[in-house]
Chains A and B, each alone.
Chain A
Amino acid sequence: MSALRIHGIVLSGVGGQGVLSLAQIVLEALRRSGFHALQSEIHGMSQRGGSVQAQVCFAEVPLTSPILDEGSADLLIALEPLEALRHVAMLRPDGHLVASEEPSADMAGYPPLEDIYRALKAVRGACLLDTEDLARRLRHPQAGGMALLGMASRHLPVPEAVWQAVITERFAAKGERVITKNLEAFAAGQGLVPARAEA
């Protein structure tokens, strides 16, 4: 009888940013990499711009709890900087954060951006991305999410071929161009984080 390590990922953002779709890509990629994985999502009324959060847990044995405890996530992927801060307490001390710097500030009481960036940079293992700039450079308005996933992929035990396959299938219905654009954004994100030694 030995203890088992369960891995956790939190994804967060604002309704409409594609948090749930990203979570599904991660879930499928982990599953195809041989893990037992579960995903949970909380999105009261997400199409109307509230906070959205999804969690993915995975391990080498079947899991039953779709939700993580505070301080137990290995990775936080945030599509919006305030929504990153909202969930940093979910990270383990040795966890990683990849987050967009691009604010969705259309709400009451949004804190000053410099305060948000300062708090984010104080998080150990934080990696921020100017998704607005990247989207412009890649001429792909939705590049941000996929690039963040590329960055996050450096911390996940998923073979490159699996990522390629899952992303390709996810966008298959939208045609060759959309697939290429998304793979390009994913690769751009990967290029920003050094590969893990064991990957």
Chain B
Amino acid sequence: MAQSTLALGVEAVGCAGFDAGIKGAFGYPGTPSTEGFECVEALIHAAADGRVAQWAANEKVAYDLALGVSFAGFRTLVTMKHVGLNVALDAYANSALTGVHGGLVLLVADDPGMHSSQNEQDSRSLASFAWLPCLEPSTVQECYDFTLRAFDLSEALQVPVMVRLVTRLAHCRAPLDRREALAPTGLGPVPAAQAQDWVLIPSNARRRYEDLLAKQPRLLAALADLNRSVPGPSRRGVALAGMGRAYFHQLALEHPELRDLPRLELAAQPVDPDLEAAFLATVDEVLVFEEDYPLVETRLGLRARVKVHGRMDGALPRVGELSPRLLKAALGLAPSMGTPAELDLPVRAPRFCDGCGHVDAFEALQEALGNLGATAQARVFGDIGCYTLAAQEPLSALHAVVEMGASISMAVGAALAGLHPAVAVIGDSTFGHSGLPALLTAMDAGADVTILILDNRVVGMTGQQPSQALDQVERMVLGMGIPEASLQVLTPLPRHHEANVKAVAAALQQPGPSVLVFRRECIQSLRRGVLREHDRNEKAERASACCTLEVQP
């Protein structure tokens, strides 16, 4: 039954995945992509018809899970934020060569303006890097329609298809009309005749790469109707992609004169060069509105006759997200002005929730370093999560925060270069995401590092999803070869402060890698009861097993 609801842009992608009849949805949380997975997860759970929605340990795992579903002959959706695609890039780029069997759609949410990310890289460039198609919706309804289309394209062309959103669209809530949901239909696994396509030994890979390149004209043809050139009487034109399209269309409602401008409207890449050439032949100059990197701008700029304006010539700022205000300025429309308050307004920075255990852990670390007289020499390598807030005042406890998993490896590298004390601070989810292999190397290198794993049992920062490392952290640490004597489990609570300071000091003085697990559940997940059922089941299980098994601490 078709239905109309209100949905966020990312949720519309999730709904479309469900309605397209996916068998499995996978992802790793990351703003602003998280709600896309959560939406399809809720639909799949409600349907209770044997489909799966599974958070993965990281984005690469999520992507490979999806590729496995595709291999098995079913449709599948995988979701991540832009920097997550770096982690999944090996899988993504190589799946271009294997191709897909069941339709595979990748939702990537970019974050121009860095509302909640460490960079503003443009996923469209990774799609062209992999020779794969990318659809770029500009409204919530398009998020849905394009995702459905992406599944058809994926199966018709036998390639993974990316649907790229940006923060403003991902978190735009608007009415959504859904179509009737399809049930998953299986094609059966990749047939024997094609088995070699999926085995990327060099002899096959060379052939598959040629196949991928040979597919490119078909790809252009299949996407052709998503890109169009709209003529107009003016010799000044605009090229619009993604939110550039959305903002321009709305401005044209308020400023009818804009409807005279010839437009190149792009919703999918690769773009047919003939379409761009034909458009450029009708104008003398063109203003390009696209989100993030100047990709369309650079491409159009290669054609010498036409003057191209955008981020490269200062018509728009080089960095940051587009906005209606920036479009207006570039188009020469009078800015609308408001009256700001006549008062200096301090920024209201995010901070730790009252009572958050991370604060207790950092206080213990800082006091232990102080007691050892090591505050000045010590360097603390942080990671990505709520605990990154410790970089700011009053704690000012972190010297580096780069990307997920970097804390342990950077501390090991620095320690191998002679820096002491070298401390790593990493959350439990990030530890499961990419800290594990780093710990294996720390062990192998025998590096003199102290590693704090802040185990709040959830992915705090992205909305308290249960952590994949839930109840497993010590076993994971021991499994990487850390001796029991070098592992301590502590409770970050004010009343344990003295004991924690002593434990941290001992670990700092002990040669070789040592690990301190600070375990206390996130205040927010406790309040919401995220793990209540899990803990109840766990307790019941332990009660029934305790007569025969010795319980591990």
Contacts and interface: CB of A to CB of B under 8 A. Distances in A.
Nearest to B250: A65
Interface residues of B, number: 55
A97 to B, nearest CB: 11
Interface in B432-463: 461, 463
Interface in B294-353: 323-325, 328, 335-353
Nearest to A46: B350
A36 B173 CA distance: 12
Interface residues of A, number: 61
Given A69-B323, A111-B344, A45 B350 contact: yes
B249 A64 contact: yes
A37 B171 CA distance: 14
B168 A40 contact: yes
Interface stretch (B17-25, B195-203, B253-261, B492-500): B253-261
Interface stretch (A115-123, A132-140, A175-183): A115-123
Nearest to B173: A39
Contact of B247 (A41, A65, A92): A65
Majority secondary structure, B binding face: loop
B539 interface: no
A46 to B, nearest CB: 8
B338 A48 contact: no
B524 interface: yes
A42 B246 CA distance: 18
B76 interface: no
Contacts of B342: 119, 122
A109 interface: yes
Interface string B458-498: 00010100000000000000000000000000000000000
B389 interface: yes
B337 A71 contact: yes
Contacts of B249: 64-65
A44 interface: yes
A88 to B, nearest CB: 5
A40 B32 CA distance: 12
Contacts of B345: 82, 85-86, 111
B259 A1 contact: yes
Interface string A34-59: 00111111101111111100000001
B175 interface: yes
B386 interface: yes
B172 interface: yes
B250 A64 contact: yes
A156 interface: no
A46 B524 CA distance: 12
A15 B338 contact: no
Interface in B236-289: 245-247, 249-251, 253-256, 259
A162 interface: no
Contacts of B115: 42, 44
A65 B246 contact: yes
B171 A40 contact: yes
Contacts of A66: 168-169, 172, 174, 246
Given A40-B173, A107-B348, A110-B346, A24 B339 contact: no
Interface in B165-204: 167-169, 171-175
Contact of B6 (A3, A24, A51): A24
B116 interface: yes
Contacts of B253: 3-4, 6, 59, 61, 63
Contact of A28 (B6, B116, B250, B351): B6
B172 A89 contact: no
Contacts of B31: 44
B138 interface: yes
Given A1-B259, A50-B350, A69-B323, A31 B175 contact: yes
Interface string B97-132: 000000000000000000110000000000000000
Nearest to A111: B343
Contact of B340 (A3, A88, A107): A88
Nearest to A61: B253
A72 interface: yes
A42 B171 contact: yes
A88 B342 CA distance: 10
B390 to A, nearest CB: 12
A38 B344 contact: no
Contacts of B524: 47
A108 to B, nearest CB: 7
A75 interface: no
B139 interface: yes
A64 B6 CA distance: 15
Contact of A45 (B6, B116, B168): B116
Interface string A60-104: 010111111111110000000011011011111100000000000
A47 B175 contact: no
Contact of A71 (B175, B338, B344): B338
Given A27-B173, A119-B341, A69 B325 contact: yes
A27 B348 contact: no
A14 interface: yes
Nearest to B117: A44
Contacts of B175: 31, 36-37
Name the residue among A45, A68, A89, A116 with the largest chain B CB count within 10 angstroms: A45
A48 B353 contact: yes
A44 B6 contact: no
A86 B346 CA distance: 9
Contact of B339 (A1, A68, A89): A89
A63 B172 CA distance: 12
B138 A64 contact: yes
Contacts of B343: 85, 111, 115-116, 119
A41 B6 CA distance: 14
Nearest to A88: B341
Contacts of B246: 64-66
Nearest to A4: B253
Contact of B349 (A27, A50, A110): A50
Interface of A: 1-6, 14-15, 24, 27-28, 31, 36-42, 44-51, 59, 61, 63-73, 82-83, 85-86, 88-93, 107-111, 115-116, 119-120, 122-123
Given A49-B351, A69-B325, 20 more contacts: A27-B6, A27-B173, A38-B140, A44-B116, A45-B116, A45-B350, A48-B353, A49-B353, A50-B348, A63-B250, A64-B246, A65-B250, A65-B324, A66-B168, A85-B341, A89-B340, A93-B339, A107-B349, A111-B345, A119-B341
22 contacts: A3-B254, A4-B254, A24-B6, A27-B173, A38-B173, A40-B173, A45-B116, A47-B524, A49-B350, A50-B348, A50-B350, A64-B246, A65-B246, A65-B247, A65-B324, A66-B174, A69-B328, A85-B343, A88-B341, A89-B338, A107-B348, A107-B349
Query: 3 closest A-B pairs (Cβ-Cβ)?
Result: A71-B338, A89-B338, A50-B350
